[in-house]
């Protein structure tokens, strides 16, 4: 009989088997090698999108593969449940964010289960659960005590019409996304974590993790360590200006200073200066995004005050400039237009002197009319005693000089800024702080935690409802007992996603943030997620891990040993995302073709690190392969009702040997693809080739049937991580009592790989001109002779003299004439 491939019932059966047997529930076993495979948890936006399917299929394939290799595998799943979309949905559909979120979670959990992912659901967590965020609140109060959490003012996007703070993505072409009012930059007090204290460690430890080089490079550049100087410029009649520069060797070329609009010096002059006040107001008409600030037109306003250049006593004008920001660095910079791109543009625009102080070391001229000359390879000129010195020598000379005069000092600086964790939003973890008139900001004591976010709320306006909720706000000061107010800001959602990986190890722990189980599982062996998280999420999580280490909660330096950054699933050329509304619903595909087809297709369509332009075509091809696999294996089973004879490998004919060669070459390749290369698309292609080969292998002898059984057994094993449902079933039908998820990964039979002869390519002047079959133990000389003797090759050489012959053993012979 020949059953039809029926994914619906087959997948339900396999999933039921795994659930009933708790197949993916794991416990800590010190005797076994642990393997923690983690995929980035999803934001519960409503339903899974293809990016999720891709991410979680990759994770599941790796998990199942490692399990077959004998590891004690943990693969958990949970929900990054706080965030803005829940608030947007609340406004749009008048449904409380909590309800919306929990309903989404329930639906998406079912979708994940229907895809057959091997998660330990006992460890599931949602970050909006007070049992989760209470520990984040507790940890924050510890950071306050240590001085790592502190408060300062920082700019936000402010909509003057809606009277609310906007996220960068809510600012469309400089205007509020709801009311189209031009957005302003406004300084408000916010909480920060001193990630800059860990900059050096975050930089150094990048060398210890097995991450893609591109991600490490991005993080290094983001941290942006630079060695330079802080230099003090006296301002007669005012406070001096402190600036940071990486190019003190160009100090003689400084022809102006630029300060932020909100700089105290600027503000004090503005008091008597309406035009400047107007300019300062104009500078606020911008959002806070770096890309916008860099692209906007650079504008300035002369302050009418001079600063004194400490190296030569020269007075240079101070300008207020819209591209200098108060929050970053000292809010003031020195400008050397001849050797800085931005300063050059500014000087050109406002007719400020461009003075060359670096010249090419070969003595050639540079054209400063065409643009700034930016290099560290030149020599100083027009710089007094520095003239003729190279960058390093000049740097040290000027640094020594300035330090002696106490006008500045050498300084290591980072581009990285402290992490602002305050959000003026509702759907987030409340910042556990009480503001008391007498005592100031007081952390909520551990026994009063969690500060629970009220979930039963009316979400009408645009602002956060707890900002006007007296029952939430009014409280008493834990220190003095007097009436006090709660902080109504919530945490950045990156806070929750910075430690969830560790919480999975002990998500049932009610008395502590983490326990010793975290040390059994962490660091994560393999972390899988989108490349879009290469900087922020991954940097914050690394920082948090070090904070937890310093609190004694974990005992490793880094959270993620190795990292796989999957490329994005694109639709119509751009990132598939809820906000862009260009998602493809995988559910339709699961319903019509089954989970195995969807899993097979996303793994086959491209290698994990590459972006994947979605197209519906091709899914049918994956489905066809499954049907074909099912059909061919059943044909084999039906035609070998009697038992399969033992294989006698010493007594095989050429075709049988070739079939076994193909099988074991495939096992070797697929094992390498799974473990080292992580290219599942080529592993699948290799199995397709194997299926094509075995379908042509129509040897019906006992030995032939045994070989076919060997092929199918191994194919089921090799494909089990990718298409687990169908392989679960086929494995049993192939006559095995064992459960395939616990079976060992296939072994290569080295003896099957031995060949008598191989094909070699013959080139003339690098162009393919012929092929020849040679014995595997042939030496270079006879290779060369055989190549020169080839008829086709002789034609191309003609009468020309052979100048050189290159032999690459086992590959090719190149004859140069």
Partner RNA sequence: GCCAGCGUGGUGAAAUUGGUAGACACAGGGGAUUCAAAAUCCCCCGCCUUCACGGGCUUGGCGGUUCGAGUCCGCCCGCUGGUACCA
Residue pair 626/722 in contact by the 8 Å Cβ criterion: no
Burial readout 44-76 (b: 16 or more C-beta within 10 A, e: otherwise): bbbbbbbbbbbbbbbbbbbbbbbbbeebbbbbb
CB closer to RNA, 133 vs 419:
419
Q: How far apart are CA 706 and CA 249, in angstroms?
A: 78
Residue pair 325/331 in contact by the 8 Å Cβ criterion: yes
Burial readout 377-404 (b: 16 or more C-beta within 10 A, e: otherwise): ebbbbebeebeebebeebbebbbebbee
Exactly one of 610, 657, 733, 749 binds RNA (CB under 7 A); that residue is 610
Residues 544-573 binding RNA (CB under 7 A) are 568, 570, 573
Q: Does 605 bind RNA (CB under 7 A)?
A: yes
**C-alpha to C-alpha distances, 7 to 107, 425, 638, 725, nearest whole angstrom:** 21, 45, 20, 8
Which residues have C-beta within 8 Å of that of residue 78, sequence separation ≥ 6? 41, 123, 124, 125, 126, 127, 500, 504, 507
Which residues have C-beta within 8 Å of that of residue 281, sequence separation ≥ 6? none
CB closer to RNA, 173 vs 290:
290
Q: Does 345 bind RNA (CB under 7 A)?
A: no
What is the token pair recorded at 336?
A: 């050397």
Size of the site for RNA (CB under 7 A): 106
Q: Does 291 bind RNA (CB under 7 A)?
A: yes
Q: Does 697 bind RNA (CB under 7 A)?
A: no
Q: How far apart are CA 360 and CA 757, in angstroms?
A: 61
CB closer to RNA, 435 vs 577:
577
Residue 139, φ and ψ in degrees, nearest 5:
-65, -40
Residues 777-816 binding RNA (CB under 7 A) are 792, 796, 804, 806, 808, 811-812, 814, 816
Residues 747-776 binding RNA (CB under 7 A) are 759, 761, 763, 765-769, 771
Q: Does 628 bind RNA (CB under 7 A)?
A: yes
Residue with tokens 């706080």: 82
Q: Does 241 bind RNA (CB under 7 A)?
A: no
Closest approach, Cβ 811 to RNA, in A, equals: 4
Would you give the DSSP letter of residue 677?
I
CB closer to RNA, 214 vs 468:
214
Residues 36-65 binding RNA (CB under 7 A) are 43
Closest approach, Cβ 676 to RNA, in A, equals: 7
Residues 74-103 binding RNA (CB under 7 A) are 80, 82-85
Exactly one of 177, 222, 520, 697 binds RNA (CB under 7 A); that residue is 222
Closest approach, Cβ 421 to RNA, in A, equals: 8
Q: How far apart are CA 682 and CA 480, in angstroms?
A: 67
Closest approach, Cβ 139 to RNA, in A, equals: 18
Q: How far apart are CA 542 and CA 215, in angstroms?
A: 13
Would you give the DSSP letter of residue 559?
S
CB closer to RNA, 267 vs 535:
535
Residues 503-532 binding RNA (CB under 7 A) are 531-532
CB closer to RNA, 134 vs 662:
662
Closest approach, Cβ 199 to RNA, in A, equals: 10
* Closest alpha carbon to 526 in 109, 64, 31: 64
Q: Can you say how many angstroms the Cα of residue 216 is from the centroid of all Cα atoms in its chain?
A: 10
CB closer to RNA, 447 vs 767:
767
Residues 179-198 binding RNA (CB under 7 A) are 190
Closest approach, Cβ 382 to RNA, in A, equals: 26
* Closest alpha carbon to 317 in 337, 297, 290: 337
CB closer to RNA, 33 vs 759:
759
Q: Does 447 bind RNA (CB under 7 A)?
A: no
Exactly one of 58, 90, 166, 434 binds RNA (CB under 7 A); that residue is 166
CB closer to RNA, 155 vs 408:
155
Residues 408-437 binding RNA (CB under 7 A) are 415-417, 419-420, 422-425
Q: How far apart are CA 143 and CA 150, in angstroms?
A: 9
Residues 634-693 binding RNA (CB under 7 A) are 669, 672-673, 677, 679, 681-682, 684-685, 688-689, 691-692
Q: Does 217 bind RNA (CB under 7 A)?
A: yes
Stretch that binds RNA, among 289-297, 375-383, 459-467, 776-784 (CB under 7 A): 289-297
């Amino acid at each position: 009989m020949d059953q039809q491939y029926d994914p619906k019932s087959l997948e339900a059966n396999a999933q039921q088997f795994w659930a009933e047997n708790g197949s993916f529930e794991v416990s800590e076993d010190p005797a076994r090698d642990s393997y923690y495979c983690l995929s980035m948890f999803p934001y519960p936006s409503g339903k899974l999108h293809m990016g999720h399917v891709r991410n979680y299929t990759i994770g599941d394939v790796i998990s199942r593969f490692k399990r077959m290799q004998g590891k004690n595998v943990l693969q958990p799943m949970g929900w990054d449940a706080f965030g803005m979309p829940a608030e947007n949905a609340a406004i749009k559909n008048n449904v409380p964010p909590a309800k919306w979120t929990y309903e989404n979670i329930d639906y998406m959990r079912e979708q994940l289960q229907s895809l057959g992912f091997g998660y330990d659901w006992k460890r599931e967590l949602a970050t909006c659960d007070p049992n989760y965020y209470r520990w984040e609140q507790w940890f924050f109060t510890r950071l306050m005590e240590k001085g790592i959490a502190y408060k300062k003012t920082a700019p936000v996007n402010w909509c003057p019409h809606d009277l609310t703070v906007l996220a960068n993505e809510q600012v469309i072409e400089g205007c509020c996304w709801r009311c189209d009012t031009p957005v302003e930059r406004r300084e408000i007090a916010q909480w920060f974590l001193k990630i800059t204290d860990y900059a050096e460690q975050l930089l150094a430890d990048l060398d210890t993790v097995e991450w893609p080089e591109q991600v490490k490079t991005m993080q290094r550049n983001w941290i942006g360590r630079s060695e330079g100087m802080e230099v003090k410029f006296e301002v007669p009649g005012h406070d001096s200006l402190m600036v940071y520069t990486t190019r003190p060797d160009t100090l003689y070329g400084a022809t102006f200073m630029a300060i932020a609009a909100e700089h105290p010096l600027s503000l004090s002059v503005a008091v008597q200066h309406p035009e400047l006040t107007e300019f300062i107001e104009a500078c606020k008409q911008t959002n806070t995004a770096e890309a916008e600030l860099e692209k906007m037109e650079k504008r300035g306003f002369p302050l009418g005050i001079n600063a004194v250049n400490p190296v030569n006593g020269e007075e240079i004008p101070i300008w207020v400039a819209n591209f200098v920001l108060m929050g970053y660095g000292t809010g003031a910079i020195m400008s050397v237009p001849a050797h800085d791109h931005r300063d050059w543009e500014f000087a050109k625009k406002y007719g400020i002197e461009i003075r060359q102080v670096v010249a090419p070391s070969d003595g050639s001229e540079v054209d400063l009319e065409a643009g700034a000359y930016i290099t560290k390879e030149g020599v100083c000129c027009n710089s007094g005693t520095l003239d003729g010195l190279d960058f390093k020598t000049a740097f040290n000379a000027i640094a020594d000089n300035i330090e002696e005069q106490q006008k500045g000092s050498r300084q290591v600086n980072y581009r990285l800024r402290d992490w602002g964790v305050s959000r003026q939003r509702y759907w987030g973890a409340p910042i556990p702080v009480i503001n008391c008139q007498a005592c100031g900001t007081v952390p909520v004591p551990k026994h009063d935690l969690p500060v629970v976010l009220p979930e039963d709320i009316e979400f009408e306006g645009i602002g956060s409802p707890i900002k006007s909720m007296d029952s939430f706000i009014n409280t008493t000061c834990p220190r003095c007992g007097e009436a006090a107010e709660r902080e109504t800001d919530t945490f950045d959602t990156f806070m929750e996603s910075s430690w969830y990986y560790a919480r999975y190890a002990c998500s049932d722990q009610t008395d502590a943030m983490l326990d010793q189980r975290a040390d059994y599982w962490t660091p994560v062996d393999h972390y899988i997620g989108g490349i879009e998280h290469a900087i922020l999420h991954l940097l914050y999580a690394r920082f948090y891990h070090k904070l937890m280490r310093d609190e004694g909660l974990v005992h490793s330096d880094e959270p993620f040993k190795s990292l796989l950054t999957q490329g994005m699933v694109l639709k119509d050329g751009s990132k598939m995302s809820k906000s862009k509304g260009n998602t493809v619903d995988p559910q339709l595909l699961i319903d019509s073709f089954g989970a195995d087809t969807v899993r097979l297709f996303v793994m086959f369509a491209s290698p994990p690190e590459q972006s994947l332009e979605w197209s519906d075509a091709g899914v049918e091809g994956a489905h066809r392969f499954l049907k074909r696999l099912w059909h061919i294996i059943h044909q084999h089973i039906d035609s070998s009702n009697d038992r399969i004879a033992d294989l006698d490998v010493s007594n095989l004919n050429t075709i049988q040997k070739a079939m076994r060669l193909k099988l074991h070459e495939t096992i070797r390749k697929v094992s390498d693809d799974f473990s080292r290369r992580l290219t599942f698309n080529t592993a699948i292609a290799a199995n397709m080739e194997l299926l094509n080969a075995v379908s042509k292998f129509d040897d019906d002898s006992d030995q032939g049937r045994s070989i076919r059984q060997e092929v199918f057994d191994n194919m089921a094993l090799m494909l089990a991580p990718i298409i687990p449902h169908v392989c679960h079933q086929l494995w049993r039908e192939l006559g095995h009592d064992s459960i395939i998820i616990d079976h060992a990964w296939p072994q290569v039979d080295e003896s099957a790989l031995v060949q008598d002869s191989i094909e070699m390519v013959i080139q003339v002047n690098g162009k393919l001109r012929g092929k020849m079959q040679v014995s595997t133990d042939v030496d270079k000389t006879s290779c060369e002779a055989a190549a020169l003797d080839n008829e086709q090759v002789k034609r191309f050489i003609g009468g020309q003299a052979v100048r050189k012959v290159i032999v690459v053993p086992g590959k090719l012979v190149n004859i140069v004439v």
